[in-house]
Structure 1
């Protein structure tokens, strides 16, 4: 559990830095920044359950996450936005 907490803290820092950079570089709206932050934190939480962090994610983990969203009946629009957030983060 201690290892998971450390990963989440490290991921929290990465997410904050990403959102700050996005705001500085692109002038993205507060609403978009909030949505991206939520999407990235949800993915980071999923990864922490797998004992992984954002920098450890691979295509297999991403596919498992997306499948889980579908299983939990998230709307296609919400999942599409989450995928957009992740694409931008990993670009």
Structure 2
């Protein structure tokens, strides 16, 4: 590959104009948080339902139960970590001297 071709890659004219990029409308934090909690609740209820179906000897594969249970477990861990970070942020704000 000739050196001229490589030099063209680094030219500023090839970069997009950042001023013309439209930003996506941002959701407010309350709505985002509420949707996350609702999603977590749905996943936990689904995991509970599938586990009950398996306990009642209904036709549910063990593979499906394990996948749903792991997904619910990961979602719950994420929610707990988000709660911990929010709590840390709140405590940090409370420690600030005004």
* TM-score, length-scaled by structure 1: 0.33
Report the structure, 1 or 2, having the larger helix content.
1
- Identify the structure with bigger relative contact order (alpha carbons < 8 Å, sequence gap 6+): 1
Could you state the TM-score of these two structures normalised by the residue count of structure 2? 0.31
Structure 1 or 2, whichever has the larger Rg, is 2
